[in-house]
Structure 1
Amino acid sequence: MKRVLLSAALAAGVAMPFTVANATDLEVTHWWTSGGEAAAVKVLADNYDALGDNHWVDSAIAGSGSTANPIIISRILGGNPMGATQMNTGRDAEELIKAGLMLDLTDLAEEEGWRDVIRPAKLLEACEYEGHIYCVPINIHSWQWMWLNRKVFEDNGMEVPANWDELVADAPKLREAGVVPLATGQPWQVDGIRNVMQSAIGGIDNYLAVNGDKDPEAVMSDENRAIWEAFAEAREMVDDAYSGRDWNVATNMVIQGDAAAQIMGDWAQGEFAMAGQEAGVDYDCLPGLGMNPVLDTGGDAFYFPKTDDPAITEAQLQLASMLISPETQVEFNLVKGSLPVRGDVDLEAANACMKKGLDILENPDNVLPSTEQLLDSDTQGQITDLALEFFSSDMSVDEAMERQKEIIEQAM
């Protein structure tokens, strides 16, 4: 059955001009379900419907990408594809592309000059396979941020921390005041903390040596040891009930003052905005944990499964074009809290945290490829499992490093 489905899919899907007269319902899957995320999705749906030709049919999948990706992939392989789907910018769809199941967007990308406006270039390169483009990067989301409730510190007679070390030093006093020093939750959030520390504490060179070069010696370095030691500090700063908590619930703990800080990607800004919080007044943001202000070039992209229905193919191409348009890029990213992938748009309305991110991106040396772009899904999974075991136990730093070394030695 799978061979029949793959053969049919390989033969389907030819880029067509936008000429279909009747509106087409296009199902779009994604995992944006928090308050801020839902507001951003509405921007996309409204802008697409406003074109007047086709209709966005929303199909949200509760949970994170780790929950949604298997569902998305299973539907496509099972012959029940959606019209379009959000996935992370990286290698998540690599096997589907190799199988010929995703729509080739190269002609549209060349016609609209995507290579001339998308920055950093690695975002579009992550959508390429054998010289063809298979996705539309829609934003730059970076993990390398720490969010702080300013009033928690000010009300308890403390200076607002400027970096990770200062937060660690404040942790005992925060606990005395009944405040959780660090809010976190589900497994991917915990692993995210360690990932952020890879570049923020270990530095760019170590980050690239471990994840890019797959260098075992870099895993055993003093720089990498410092990462695991900081991760050990983090596991002492969370509350006993952290396990399984949704990321936006953890963000709300910071907003409400129940927690002092959260290490989370810049999508957290959408939650602060929904709560009427102002950057630099109610909350602060520290790129690179205030220690090494670099950002990765992760984010979200939309893929389009192949179809033998010309109307759906045209609707897919129209959506792809809209997602990259200057108007949508500005409106969507201001609501989402992410940065636009276009370097030619006006973001005067950006808040203080977004402007920090934009300033960082001005220097290419500050831009890192995400772990999704550097490591295959199997290696990512093994590292995540190790991080979770370490965080929920008294595993030593030495043992964690040895086990990470074994994983990296086998990485593709």
Structure 2
Amino acid sequence: MNINKTLLTLSLSATFLPSLSNAGEVEVLHWWTSGGEAKSVQELKAMLEEQGHSWKDFAVAGGGGESAMTVLKTRAVSGNPPSAAQIKGHDIQEWGGLGFLTNLDDVAQSGKWDDVVPTMVTDVMKFNGEYVAVPVNVHRVNWLWANPEVLKKAGVGVPKTLDEFFAAAEKIKAAGYIPLAHGGQPWQDATVFEAVALDVLGSDDYRKAFVELDMDTLSGDKMVEVFTKFKKVHDYIDANSPGRDWNVATSMVINGEAAMQIMGDWAKGEFTAAGKVPGKDYICAPAPGTDGQFTHNVDSFAFFEIKDEANVSAQKALAATILDKDFQEVFNLNKGSIPVRTDMDMSAFDQCALDSMATFKASAKTGDLVPSMAHGMSTTSYAQGAIYDVVTNFFNDPNADPKEAAQKLAKAVKAAI
């Protein structure tokens, strides 16, 4: 795709194209600072600048966005919010309830967002029925990334179940490799935990536990089994895991130091940035035991109420550009995710993305499309924080008891809601 031609087409066709006299500035808060992510942000910046506006980058590093949210709260409360900020899931409703967000319905109607974006996604982007946020993409979280060379050297295949994973991990360990690349941060612990939970609980009980916050499910026998298997996973990560960033863990798989990583499809952006080819240099497969299921994480930007007229014009141009087909293609190719629009030509996408889109559409019909707890899609930040605490404390305590952990999980969630 000729990016310059695309930019020109977009700049001429954008509904909210500014005249240079009312060119404004957008300040955008995000935490996309790793290779594939940073490249994606540059595309958005370039498209906006092509329309005559300027972009002020407000990047706060940290994969799960906790640091960024702390900074955002300080700015918003002091009456100086950015134009847009990377906010998703239930947090959008929270910010809307506080009265900080602006109405984007004019941009949405012009772009026919309701026609091209699934209702499951648009519902999250609206507050009191009005658009206040724009979805950027759909990530599948329950992926297993593997280095085929390391698997071959250990004499194992890609594990399809957790039992196969544990058996393969033993052989990989014996062959002198790290079976599972992992970063010991709460959101990464929760990412692995929810993949295990999706397998053990199944989609319905997963929903009961992490969407409905059902106390019996959170403390029940199946949850005890989740913790038991999750504990076993710890045997296959290395001692240097605590504090490691997710993209550093991904590079361990890329470099052949580790065999596998359980991580969302943003990891694919790192493989792509390193010039690796899916099916040849790396394998993408459903996390063990979760074939046909899809844990979704939808990245989005919430738009804040600002006063300057030129900056409002720039803000609307940004909202329109995010859902433009050309941007959706180039952004998601870099990021590793799939477009949030259902009317996209997917011919430029690789097999991992095609598999992801097929499972996304199929799981929506079977009831196996579930929101990610680890990535703020299934519940409030308070309940998520309570789950994080229990999960991380358990994972890092070699003497922790799975039955006790399930009881603690239910109690912690109950206290948070």
Q: Distance in 1 between matches of 2:178 and 2:305?
A: 48
Q: Which one-letter code corresponds to 2:394 in the other structure?
A: F
Unpaired stretches in structure 2, ≥5 consecutive residues: 1-15
Letter in 2 for 1:361: F
2:299 aligned residue: 300
How far does the alpha carbon of each residue in 1:166-195 deviate from its partner, in whole angstroms, 9 at most, with x for none?
A: 221122222222211111112211121112
Q: Which moved more, 1:74-83 or 1:338-347?
A: 74-83
- Asked if the contact 2:137–2:338 (Cα under 8 Å) also holds between the matched residues in 1, the reply is yes
CA distance in 2, matches of 1:93, 1:220: 29
Matched ranges for 1:277-356 at <5 A: 277-356=276-355
Which deviates further from its counterpart, 134-143 or 66-75?
66-75
Give the deviation of 1:290 after TM superposition: 4.5
Structure 2 contact 24–313 (Cα < 8 Å) conserved: no
Corresponding residue number in structure 1 for 2:150: 152
The match for 1:373 among 377, 382, 387 is: 377
Instruction: Please name the residue that 1:246 is paired with.
Output: 245
Deviation track 1:284-336 (CA, whole Å, cap 9, x = no partner) reads: 11224353432233221112211111111111001000001111111110111
* Partner SS state of residue 80, structure 2: coil
- Alignment of structure 1 residues 2-401 onto 2, 5 Å: 18=18, 21-51=21-51, 53-64=52-63, 65-87=65-87, 89-119=88-118, 121-185=119-183, 186-363=185-362, 364=364, 365-371=367-373, 372-393=376-397, 394-401=399-406
Amino acid at match of 1:381: G
Measure the CA separation in 2 of the matches of 1:83 and 1:48.
13
Aligned sequence identity (%): 35
Structure 1 pair 48–208 and aligned structure 2 pair: CA distance change class (3 A): same
1:6 matched residue in structure 2: none
**CA gap 1:137/1:173 in 2 versus in 1, 3 angstroms:** same
Comparing 161-170 with 393-402, which one deviates more in the overlay? 161-170
Shift in CA distance, 317/194, structure 1 to aligned 2, threshold 3 Å: same
Shift of 1:34: 0.7
Output the amino acid matched with 1:373: M
1:17 deviates by 8.6
Distance of 1:105 and 1:59 partners within structure 2: 22
Aligned CA distance change for structure 1 residues 357 and 390 (closer, same or farther; 3 Å): same
Amino acid in structure 2 at the alignment position of 1:199? L
- Of residues 314-323 and 77-86 in structure 1, the stretch that sits farther from structure 2 once superposed is 77-86
Number of aligned residue pairs? 394
Counterpart of 1:376, as a letter, is T
If the length of structure 2 is used for normalisation, what is the TM-score? 0.90
- The residue type equivalent to 1:21 in the other structure is S
Match of 1:8 in 2: none
How many Å separate the matches in 2 of 1:344 and 1:112?
13
Aligned-partner residue type, residue 50 of structure 1: E
Q: CA RMSD in A?
A: 1.8
**Offset of 1:411 from its aligned partner?**
5.0
Structure 1 partner of 2:408: 403
